[in-house]
């Protein structure tokens, strides 16, 4: 006698088990949309051909018969010579803004274009002249405003943890049979003190920077400059320009803006100039033929998405707009259905777990530090060890570019490279010889 009247389902026999789930093209949404689009295009072409034949007059050449096969992958743009996914991707613009860089490109491109997410506008002062010209990172000074010794200019907040880390690193390297010089710090300090910089004239510098030149008449100077050209405007230009970064730590940078309208306009201008210059689509009326995929942070605000959607549809006139989260886009691009994505950006580090194409809500973390904090800490550590260029100021544009270059070139996690080694760098400033 059965213990319950509830029907019991027997186990599936794996030998005779068979299913057609996701084994036909019509069960996959992207392929089904392509087939519907080809079918609609075939219908439109047939109607156009019938209309042209109805208007055919005796003595004229007949309209050529256009045949299209449903099995052929025909893209959106028939005149471009591309077919299939290439043609579809060539009409989709992918935009991924960040705190420091904007990545933009077509979906058919192998790699995106990278543009600094910055805009320079006319101002009475530059960013390096604000707060009385206080350098960044800030240094402690004596009562007579003279600089302190490098070991004391950042106080105990930097000196004590840095000394502790150096001691722990030496112990760790000795335990792993790494060679550690007992007087390595003294060797580095003495070498930096006695080595004067070499001066190279600008015409002899093969890697000299092409600075953004302004017209002699200040009234003819542009009202704004975006991208790399903005970072290469000399600090002593006439008129003066101030750099604005519309996004900070993945959010709107409302701290540096007095009005939200100006903030929104700067984001639109930066993206618009990037589309015109990097993607070679200068005419706005051609943008109606393109769709847009906009990458948003894992933790986003509703008004951020609303404002971006209004900008893309109303101001830019894109035909279609799609939003996708950063971690979801990363897993799709890598081909993983489940992953833990750690995104280390310039000013934030985000962590998100993706499972079966969905971002787990409770796993999303936004930490307010990133590569820019690494750059500033790295400069503090070098100044602590008597860095030869002690006047470095990250608020100055050429010093900011120099610090990023040094960090990329010398920062490492390889213990084999942690040893006293001679290295050189080049300081390039507008109107000054290279040192």
What are 263-296's pLDDT values in tens digits?
999 999 999 999 999 999 988 888 999 999 999 9
Q: Name the β-bridge partners of 296.
A: 325
Give Cα separations from 268 to 148, 262, 264, 328 (angstroms): 45, 10, 6, 24
Mean pLDDT of the chain: 83
Nearest to residue 379, comparing CAs of 162, 173, 129? Answer: 162
Task: Identify the pLDDT of residue 236.
Answer: 84
Q: How far is CA 354 from the centre of its chain?
A: 21
81, pLDDT greater than 60: no
166, pLDDT greater than 80: yes
Q: Name the token pair of 410.
A: 């010398």
Measured CA to CA, the distance from residue 83 to residue 73 in angstroms comes to 6
CB-based contact 102:295 (threshold 8 Å):
no
Furthest-apart CA atoms within the chain: distance in Å = 102
CB-based contact 348:366 (threshold 8 Å):
yes
Q: Which residues lie closer than 8 Å to 333 by C-beta, 6 or more apart?
A: none
428, pLDDT greater than 50: yes
Measured CA to CA, the distance from residue 115 to residue 96 in angstroms comes to 11
What are 7-38's pLDDT values in tens digits?
877 777 766 666 777 677 777 888 888 888 88
Give Cα separations from 121 to 224, 270, 399 (angstroms): 5, 12, 20
Pick the residue with more confidence: 343 or 7? 343
Indicate the pairing of strand 291-296 with strand 92-97.
parallel
Q: Name the β-bridge partners of 293.
A: 94, 322
% of residues, the chain, pLDDT over 70: 91
Q: Name the token pair of 145.
A: 């405003």
Measured CA to CA, the distance from residue 42 to residue 332 in angstroms comes to 31
Residue 46 phi, psi (nearest 5): -65, -40
Task: Identify the pLDDT of residue 385.
Answer: 83
Mean predicted confidence (pLDDT) in 25-53:
84
What are 201-248's pLDDT values in tens digits?
877 777 778 888 888 888 888 999 998 999 889 888 888 899 999 998
What are 99-149's pLDDT values in tens digits?
999 999 998 888 899 999 999 998 888 888 887 778 888 888 777 777 788
Taken as a whole, the chain contains a residue count of 435
Measured CA to CA, the distance from residue 396 to residue 243 in angstroms comes to 10
Nearest to residue 44, comparing CAs of 36, 56, 32, 54? Answer: 36
Pick the residue with more confidence: 79 or 172? 172
Cis peptide before 261 (omega within 30 of 0): no
Mean predicted confidence (pLDDT) in 291-317:
92
Burial 370-403 (b: 16+ CB within 10 A, else e): bbbeebeeebbebbbebbbbeebbbbbbbbbebb
Pick the residue with more confidence: 417 or 165? 165
3, pLDDT greater than 80: no
Reported for 78-82, long-range contacts at CB under 8 A and 24+ positions apart, including other chains, are: 82/108
């Amino acid at each position: 006698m059965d213990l319950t009247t509830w029907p019991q389902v027997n186990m599936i026999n794996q030998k005779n088990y068979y299913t057609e789930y996701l084994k036909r093209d019509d069960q996959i949404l992207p392929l089904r949309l392509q087939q519907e689009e080809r079918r609609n295009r075939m219908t439109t072409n047939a109607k156009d051909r019938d209309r042209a034949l109805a208007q055919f007059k005796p003595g004229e050449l007949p309209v050529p018969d256009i045949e299209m096969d449903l099995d052929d992958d025909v893209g959106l743009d028939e005149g471009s010579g591309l077919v299939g996914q290439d043609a579809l991707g060539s009409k989709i613009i992918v935009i991924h803004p960040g705190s420091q860089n904007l990545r933009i490109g077509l979906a058919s491109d192998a790699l995106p274009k990278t543009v600094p997410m910055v805009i320079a506008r006319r101002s009475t002062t530059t960013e390096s002249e604000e707060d009385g010209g206080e350098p960044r990172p800030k240094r402690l000074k004596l009562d007579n405003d003279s600089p302190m010794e490098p070991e004391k200019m950042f106080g105990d907040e930097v000196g004590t943890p840095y000394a502790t880390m150096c001691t722990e690193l030496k112990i760790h390297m000795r335990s792993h049979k790494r060679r550690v010089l007992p007087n390595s710090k003294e060797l580095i300090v003495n070498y930096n003190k006695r080595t004067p910089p070499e001066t190279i004239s600008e015409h002899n510098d093969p890697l000299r920077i092409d600075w953004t030149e302004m017209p002699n008449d200040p009234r003819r100077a542009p009202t704004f400059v975006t991208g790399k050209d903005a970072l290469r405007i000399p600090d002593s230009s006439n008129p003066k320009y101030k750099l604005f970064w519309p996004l900070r730590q993945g959010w709107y940078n409302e701290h540096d803006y007095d009005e939200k309208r100006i903030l929104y306009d700067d984001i639109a201008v930066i993206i618009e100039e990037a589309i015109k210059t990097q993607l070679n689509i200068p005419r706005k009326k051609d943008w109606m033929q393109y769709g847009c995929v906009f990458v948003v942070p894992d933790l986003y605000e509703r008004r951020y998405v609303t404002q971006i959607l209004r900008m893309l549809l109303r101001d830019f006139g894109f035909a279609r707009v799609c939003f996708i989260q950063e971690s979801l886009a990363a897993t799709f691009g890598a081909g993983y259905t489940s992953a833990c994505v750690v995104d280390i950006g310039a000013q934030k580090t985000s962590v998100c777990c993706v499972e079966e194409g969905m971002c787990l809500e409770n796993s999303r973390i936004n930490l307010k530090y990133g590569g820019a904090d690494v750059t500033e800490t790295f400069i503090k550590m070098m100044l602590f060890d008597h860095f030869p260029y002690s006047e470095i100021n990250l608020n100055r544009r050429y010093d900011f570019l120099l610090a990023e270059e040094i960090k990329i070139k010398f920062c490492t996690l390889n213990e084999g490279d942690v040893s006293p080694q001679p290295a050189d760098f080049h300081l390039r400033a507008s109107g000054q010889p290279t040192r």
